[in-house]
């Protein structure tokens, strides 16, 4: 646990008692603060009371009169599409609003570090797609290299649940826009921006607000080194803002869309080969085509980002390359479930938006595509260019018929995952890939993308076991 510093003796309200909220309450208590907690769910409040926390209804009159700070869970909106009433009440009372990420950065460094040979480091990863894989890959490379490393944030452990760092330790954080937008303190040593595509637009009032939330990690945080995917205009703009000149190697530009020139520090993947250039000269090259856990150009971008972050820590290219080959990938992200009679089955349930699904489609040939769900803003036009390898689509979801009408490949309305898997299996031929890449949220039929992916895996394995 990371005890919260700077709030000793203060009363701090905690809104939302999921994983991050309870962890924040525990860390506040460990740091000498009094956490007063609330959740609309009575069961969540009961669990907190069982741990000795006092609850407080935060909408009653005078609830914030003695509160020094309000800490909120990431899923609770604080501005758009409208502020949560509790957050609005705190702001009217002049109470600062924060989250567990802000508390972490406020509390991570301690006087004990004076005894360390090497100060601990924090690598923070954000972006629309690939941030989980990139974070997990960085963590895997560091462990492969014998470095003490912890994985936290949206993946792994809660940020305040991790162990206090040791000398030379590295904490890898996956951070969503919900987290970067609100944290009052953001001070990573290395910050990574993978890419940007439309997502969570209602929460951020459009693309400008969404990009601004991501940008805070770099503008507010002032990292020593920034790894920036520059294949979108926003990333290119961000790299330009952070750089002092063409040769400024504090910014590492990453691309999988084209060659990057100039005297700066660049990491590019083209046609399956990762290339690092610095000062206009090639420093290293890695063949990614045989890396089973990182299929497709989108995973090659993840590899470039992870490579650049680890090179910033001084790891040798060949050490990183060896770690690539032992990386098994993450569940629900280009996850190979199995193969039978020449047909592969791949679970990419995390492809919850059009851009992520398009990248998944571009990684395979002869695709039997299971897609559909709760459609996000912006429509499905972005899938057209990537659907050339699709032999047929099998559409799930409550609005499957409307979803199917927007697709260019032949599409069959299946509605349920069971029907989609059964039809895809029945029609698949040797050389085909049955791919779940929904291009939509899961909440019309499932509680999460994980639950949707687990259902797909269960049905596929039942087929493979026959």
pLDDT at 19 (0 to 100) = 87
Token pair belonging to 39? 């959740």
- Does a structural domain hold residue 4? no
pLDDT at 441 (0 to 100) = 95
Kindly report the CATH number assigned to the domain that includes residue 215: 3.40.1190.10
Q: Per-residue b/e over 291-305, b at no fewer than 16 CB within 10 Å? A: bebbbbbbbbbbbbb
- Does a structural domain hold residue 6? no
According to the annotation, is 350 in a ligand binding site? no
* One domain for residues 107 and 67: no
Q: What are phi and psi of 225, to 5 degrees?
A: -140, 140
According to the annotation, is 214 in a ligand binding site? no
- If we measure between CA atoms, which residue out of 174, 165, 208 comes closest to residue 194? 174
Q: Is 385 exposed, middle or buried (0-12, 13-18, 19+ CB in 10 A)?
A: exposed
Token pair belonging to 238? 């961000």
3-state secondary structure of 291: coil
* One domain for residues 160 and 262: yes
- Does a structural domain hold residue 394? yes
* One domain for residues 358 and 413: yes
* One domain for residues 88 and 188: no
Provide the residue-wise pLDDT of the chain in tens; the chain has 466 residues. Answer: 999 999 999 999 999 999 899 999 999 999 999 999 999 999 999 999 999 999 999 999 999 999 999 999 998 999 999 999 999 999 999 999 999 999 999 999 999 999 999 999 999 999 998 999 999 999 999 999 999 999 999 887 899 999 999 999 999 999 999 999 999 999 999 999 999 988 778 899 999 999 999 999 999 878 999 999 999 999 999 999 999 998 899 999 999 998 888 899 999 999 999 999 999 899 999 999 989 889 888 899 999 999 999 999 999 999 999 999 999 888 898 898 999 999 999 999 999 999 889 989 998 999 999 999 999 877 898 898 889 999 999 999 999 999 999 999 999 999 999 999 999 999 999 999 999 999 999 999 999 999 999 999 999 999 999 8
The secondary structure of residue 169, as a DSSP letter, is -
3-state secondary structure of 123: strand
According to the annotation, is 133 in a ligand binding site? yes
* One domain for residues 246 and 318: yes
* One domain for residues 277 and 319: yes
According to the annotation, is 128 in a ligand binding site? yes
According to the annotation, is 208 in a ligand binding site? no
- If we measure between CA atoms, which residue out of 327, 274, 289 comes closest to residue 135? 327
Domain stops at, among 98, 119, 153: 98
- Domain count for the chain, please give it: 3
* One domain for residues 61 and 142: no
Q: Per-residue b/e over 254-273, b at no fewer than 16 CB within 10 Å? A: bbbeeebeeebbbbbbeeee
Element (H, E) at 294: none
3-state secondary structure of 339: strand
* One domain for residues 300 and 406: no
Domain stops at, among 43, 66, 98: 98
- Does a structural domain hold residue 302? yes
- Does a structural domain hold residue 3? no
* One domain for residues 313 and 422: no
Q: Is 355 exposed, middle or buried (0-12, 13-18, 19+ CB in 10 A)?
A: buried
* One domain for residues 139 and 230: yes
Q: How far apart (Å, rounded) are the C-alpha atoms in residues 139 and 266?
A: 21
Q: Domain range spanning residue 369? A: 335-464
- Does a structural domain hold residue 330? no
The secondary structure of residue 165, as a DSSP letter, is P
For residue 83, the tally of other CB atoms under 10 A from its CB is 16
Kindly report the CATH number assigned to the domain that includes residue 90: 3.40.50.720
Kindly report the CATH number assigned to the domain that includes residue 346: 3.90.190.20
- Does a structural domain hold residue 5? no
pLDDT at 201 (0 to 100) = 84
- Does a structural domain hold residue 159? yes
- If we measure between CA atoms, which residue out of 175, 169, 166 comes closest to residue 104? 175
Domain stops at, among 275, 290, 325: 325
* One domain for residues 93 and 107: no
Find the angle CA(171)-CA(176)-CA(177) to the nearest 5 degrees: 130
* One domain for residues 144 and 233: yes
Q: How far apart (Å, rounded) are the C-alpha atoms in residues 147 and 164?
A: 15
pLDDT at 156 (0 to 100) = 77
What residues are paired with 265 via a beta bridge?
252, 278
Find the angle CA(74)-CA(254)-CA(243) to the nearest 5 degrees: 85
For residue 6, the tally of other CB atoms under 10 A from its CB is 14
pLDDT at 154 (0 to 100) = 87
């Amino acid at each position: 646990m990371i005890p919260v510093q700077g709030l000793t003796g203060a009363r701090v309200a905690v809104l939302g008692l999921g994983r991050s909220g309870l962890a924040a309450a525990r860390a506040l208590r460990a740091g000498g603060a009094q956490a007063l907690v609330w959740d609309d769910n009575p069961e969540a409040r009961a669990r907190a009371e069982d741990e000795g926390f006092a609850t407080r209804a935060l909408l009653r009159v005078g609830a914030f009169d003695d509160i020094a700070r309000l800490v909120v869970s990431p899923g609770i909106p604080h501005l758009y599409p409208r502020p949560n009433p509790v957050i609005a009440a705190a702001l009217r009372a002049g109470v600062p609003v924060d989250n567990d990420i802000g508390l972490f950065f406020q509390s991570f460094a301690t006087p004990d570090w004076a005894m360390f040979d090497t100060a601990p480091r924090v690598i923070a990863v954000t972006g629309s797609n690939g941030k989980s894989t990139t974070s997990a890959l960085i963590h895997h490379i560091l462990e492969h290299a014998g470095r003490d490393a912890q994985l936290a944030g949206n993946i792994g452990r809660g940020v305040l649940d991790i162990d206090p760092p040791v000398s030379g330790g590295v904490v890898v954080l996956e951070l969503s826009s919900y987290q970067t937008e609100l944290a009052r303190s953001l001070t990573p040593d290395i910050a990574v921006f993978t890419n940007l595509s439309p997502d969570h637009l209602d929460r951020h009032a459009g693309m400008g607000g969404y990009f601004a939330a991501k940008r805070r990690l770099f503008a507010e945080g002032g990292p020593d080194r920034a790894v920036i995917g520059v294949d979108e205009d926003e990333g290119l703009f961000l790299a330009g803002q952070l750089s002092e000149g063409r040769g400024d190697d504090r910014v590492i530009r990453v691309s999988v869309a084209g060659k990057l020139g100039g005297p700066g520090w660049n990491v590019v993947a083209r046609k399956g080969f990762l290339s690092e250039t610095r000062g206009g000269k090639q420093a290293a090259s890695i063949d990614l085509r045989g890396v089973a856990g990182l299929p497709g150009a989108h995973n090659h971008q993840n590899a470039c980002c992870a490579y650049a972050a680890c090179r910033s820590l001084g790891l040798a290219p060949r050490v990183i390359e060896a770690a690539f080959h032992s990386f098994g990938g993450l569940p629900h992200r280009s996850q190979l479930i199995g193969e039978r009679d020449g047909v592969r089955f791949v679970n990419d349930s995390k492809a919850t938006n059009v851009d992520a699904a398009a990248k998944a489609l571009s990684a395979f040939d002869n695709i039997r595509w299971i897609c559909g769900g709760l459609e996000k803003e912006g429509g499905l036009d972005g899938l057209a260019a990537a659907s050339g390898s699709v032999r047929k689509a099998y559409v799930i979801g409550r609005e499957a018929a409307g979803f199917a009408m927007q697709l260019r490949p032949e599409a069959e309305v299946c509605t349920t995952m069971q029907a989609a898997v059964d039809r895809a299996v029945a029609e698949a031929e040797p050389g085909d890939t049955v791919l779940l890449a929904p291009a939509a949220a899961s909440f019309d039929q499932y509680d999460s993308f994980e639950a949707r992916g687990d259902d797909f895996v269960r049905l596929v394995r039942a087929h493979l076991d026959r």
